[in-house]
Structure 1
């Protein structure tokens, strides 16, 4: 079986293995020679780490582990050890595909109404028990080959010796330091502030000695180096200092979950993606099932009918997301969102000429009248095994809480629970029962690492950051390639749209709103409201030509990216 026929996907970085043709994002970022493995990531140093692991004969999971830890150093806005996510692996005949769910959980002291009062929404109280280290370790134990310490070592070195800031990191870190105020983010300002003051510049070196020591403990002791011992003590002390809820007992009790991927079919492709506790897979597959009932031609991509139908599919799937999905350990999960017959019923309810008001779809969800930073990467190893990994801190830099003495950012994932029980309103707040706060519960996620497979061979690996927009970014890339025949560069570059049921508005990238004024005008005539956003998502993706086996890696130009060859 040819190695180039298999791929993976994760949110920020993309790894490939054989006969790869990465696409450069700029003249400063040329595509590397296509010798064997390739890593496409938002971070050049992290991509280089992953490619080096592949050169040593590491598996796709080995490369994913090394890259994830490197991103915790070189992309602090989203790379992390203090967050959580999902790793989807396709082992290429050496086992069953699996999803490793390392989503954060609510602390034992969490309560259903803990965020009802504004005064109780502090940054420390919004931190969930982190899952990244445990999840990566579980995946490595199942599918890794190289020693764990060897995979973490490059991140230890990057933290201790520092790395040169690119334009994105320099601007992003500087702005976040300037805008961070209060005691909760004091350690953030100390760790990420430029020595001597002022703004970071491109080429400046960021050294993180406390993070180096934390990563060294993880390298030596595995998850025990994070969930017990000194690091656990530092986390617990930080929680006490800031009024957070996480205890040493919460950390010691954390367990990732190995799950069976959710798989659907779309126009002859098998679609592998993440099941609950992520909402991404179910919501994406319901959208695709609805769209499959309609015929599209390549020339139709920017026609009013096409956008109207895509938006109506988004609207209905996000409504069901709010109604049906939560942590399966707490909520029975209906599989109707995967049912093609149900999708046909929903499609039949779409008025081809008029927008459906979102409130009309509420059904038994009572309506009260009254952002997001993640990272994704993909990997394929020499045996053809594929990994798609998405992980996050929730908002950019989480809640700006750095664990004092440990050097890493904690998440603010408790944001993803429904804070106000029973309050679902047109502003987008969701208070339905499946996603209310409970001790030990995983908050609902939108992460959507996805692999399309045809004739048992992966052909598209994609994913994105972006909170609730993640699912629709993936949908845009999938329909661009499958329905409208775009090559991957065009599919990733194409302007994106988003609708999430509430608020009842199409959010289109500037390139969509400004680039298609007549289309936007027609949509408004059909009853749609259209707002403009600057950009949506960061979909580093891979395409494997099913006829030739040639692999193309495309870095999304919306932030930054680099392709590193094995």
Structure 2
């Protein structure tokens, strides 16, 4: 385990407004213990788990110095915009779940929707042809969303600028590239000939490949972060940074206008709440599709009574896959931005609906996807999102997933501002009769429109038992997010795995169409008989077998002692940091 110490410790106040309850912060005269980090970390006071050790440590330092989980989440998100640029961002958007512990009844859980929106010029058929990266950029929501979180649920012990400046300093002074970031940068640069500014900002001066131990400095991004720190979100949405975004759009035929930026707002929405085997599941509402799909599958699993002693039997995996197939069919048919149409949430997550879906599952053979819902073809979406989880000394929890859509978004770097823009508008149905890139259905709920938020698979989750928050999780991965989160939850709650085992376990994915199971290579290596059994039941197995699916950084809270266990997913090389 790595150990980090800090020479400056902020004084701890006796009481704090907002979400920072009058709980158990250390006395001002007794310095808190040092921040530690590792891929699995036990902590008593607070923990942050993300894809990057540097970013996790930035967040943990905020916790240690008296900030709450929301303060730490804001600092972590800005740090990831520097240290994990393929997905960490200020030019994208996301979802944040905030869970406040309660002494009586269920915790109060809140949802911040800072998803990108379609610019005002967007129409239902805007993306029917072959849109460029500039045209696919949606109005970014991250900066406004993080500010909304800080103002609504932060402690006020940390001023806004104090949560942004650590990221600015990292960008300005540079940081050491690790193996995961080197691989990410090299992959992005290998297909970037059409994006000279991306190559200038993220390529090495001598044109050689990145390797672990190199140093990356981002001066333009540092200057932008300093401006946002000093002038708040107004700088991004109405200031010089906004002007640079508009200029970038005009240079490449993009659609975002000054009015789009000025009018962007994050939305506070009510989470969807369900139950599973005595646990209360707080899941994201539309425009996330993940919350509904997760609860549908958990409801089906209750009906079908999964058995812990048969986790890797072909029969159990068949049941899981068939539930995925049905949840994704409903996703395609019903889900979109609730501000632009009615989404039948209560009906879709009801136990009755789950029983009806489960009744159509044949326990002995695969159901063809055309039989489940014979509409058309769904394509794969980009998977370069990132997730982090935070819990503080008072039990306040944050589950945050945010994204640029594909890896490094559309590789459009705003000139003289140094940050990447998303290519999120590819998540809209391109035209009536077609869903997503290369798809063949066009359900009205997710057709493009100005101001509308495209349907998302991001699924940040908070789970409670007997009124106490016990698990915080989520993942990146495009549509695979939903099934990754579902498998982590089921592994822990239904199959009795430890959280470490639940995160490490092999994963698979079925999204209704294409009609096939995609499995991690480790599943094929460890459970070959299971795959043979699935084939015998009529399932098609995708031969590509990726090395990884998702990156589920999670935290478990012992309800009796309050002890925290941060578990970083090892698939990329994440880190938990805490004290």
- Identify the residue that residue 194 of structure 1 maps to in structure 2: 204
**Distance of 1:366 and 1:297 partners within structure 2:** 34
* Residue 173 of structure 2 corresponds to residue 173 of structure 1: no
- After TM superposition, the score normalised by the length of structure 1 is 0.91
Structure 2: gaps spanning 5 or more residues? 1-18, 20-31
Contact 2:384–2:405 (8 Å) recurs in 1? yes
1:20–1:551: 8 Å Cα contact kept in structure 2?
no
Query: What is the match of residue 9 of structure 1?
Result: none
Once residues 384 and 437 of structure 2 are traced to their aligned partners in structure 1, the CA distance between those partners, rounded to angstroms, is: 23
- Cα distance, 1:451 vs structure 2: 1.3
CA distance in structure 2 between the partners assigned to 1:20 and 1:426 by the alignment: 48
The question of whether the paired residues in 2 share the 8 Å contact of 1:20 and 1:552 is answered with: no
Give the direction of change, closer, same or farther, for the CA distance of 1:163–1:142 in structure 2 (3 Å limit). same
Mapped contact 2:177–2:212 kept (Cα < 8 A)? yes
Partner of 1:476: 487
| Residue matched to 2:416 | 405
Q: Distance in 1 between matches of 2:240 and 2:384?
A: 28
- Residue from 537, 540, 544 that aligns with 2:557: 544
1:105 to 113, 117, 140: 117
Q: How does 1:504-543 map to 2 (within 5 A)?
A: 504-531=515-542, 532-543=545-556
Select the structure with the greater relative contact order (CA < 8 A; seq sep ≥ 6): 1
Please give the residue correspondences for 1:395-434 in structure 2 after superposition, counting only pairs within 5 Å.
Answer: 395-423=406-434, 429-434=440-445
Q: Deviations over 1:102-144 (max 9, x none)?
A: 00000011111112223xx111001000000000111111111
On the 8 A contact 1:23/1:553 being kept in 2, the answer is: no
Give 1:171 shift. Answer: 2.1
1:52 equivalent to 2:61? Answer: yes
Aligned residue pairs: how many? 539
Q: What residue number does 1:274 align with?
A: 284
In the other structure, the counterpart of 1:81 is: 90
What are the within-5 Å matches in structure 2 for residues 90-489 of structure 1? 90-93=99-102, 96-118=108-130, 121-145=131-155, 146-182=158-194, 185-335=195-345, 336-362=347-373, 365=375, 371-423=382-434, 429-489=440-500
* Cα deviation, residue 23, structure 1: 8.6
1:385 CA drift (Å): 1.1
What's the C-alpha RMSD, in Å, of the aligned pairs?
2.2
Structure 2 contact 510–518 (Cα < 8 Å) conserved: yes
What is the distance in 2 between the residues matched to 1:252 and 1:543?
39
Q: Distance in 1 between matches of 2:472 and 2:335?
A: 24
CA distance in structure 2 between the aligned counterparts of 1:264 and 1:149, rounded to whole angstroms: 37
C-alpha deviation, 1:518, in angstroms: 1.6
SS at match of 2:425: helix
* Alignment CA distance shift 1:500-1:426 (3 Å): farther
Contact kept, 8 Å, 2:518 with 2:541, in 1: the verdict is: yes
Q: Per the alignment, do residues 240 and 424 of structure 1 end up closer, same or farther by CA in structure 2, a change over 3 Å counting?
A: closer
CA distance in 1, matches of 2:471, 2:35: 14
Q: Distance in 1 between matches of 2:457 and 2:443?
A: 16
**Partner Cα separation in structure 1 for residue 449 and residue 135 of structure 2:** 14
Change (3 A) 1:326 1:19: farther
How far off is 1:201 after superposition? 2.0
Confirm or deny: 8 A CA contact 2:378 2:438 kept in the other structure.
no
Measured in 2, the distance between the counterparts of 1:22 and 1:210 equals 31
**Cα-to-partner distance string for 1:32-55 (whole Å, 9 max, x where unaligned):** 673522222211111111011111
Structure 2: distance between partners of 1:540 and 1:181: 33
* Partner Cα distance (2:434, 2:112) in 1: 32
The alpha-carbon deviation at position 433 of structure 1 amounts to 1.2
CA displacement at 1:379 relative to structure 2: 1.3
CA-to-partner distance for each residue in 1:241-271, whole Å, 9 max, x for gaps? Answer: 0110111111001011001111100011000
**Equivalents in 2 of 1:358, 1:426: separation in Å?**
19
Q: Is the 8 A contact 1:19 1:551 kept in 2?
A: no
Report the Cα offset of residue 356 of structure 1. 0.7
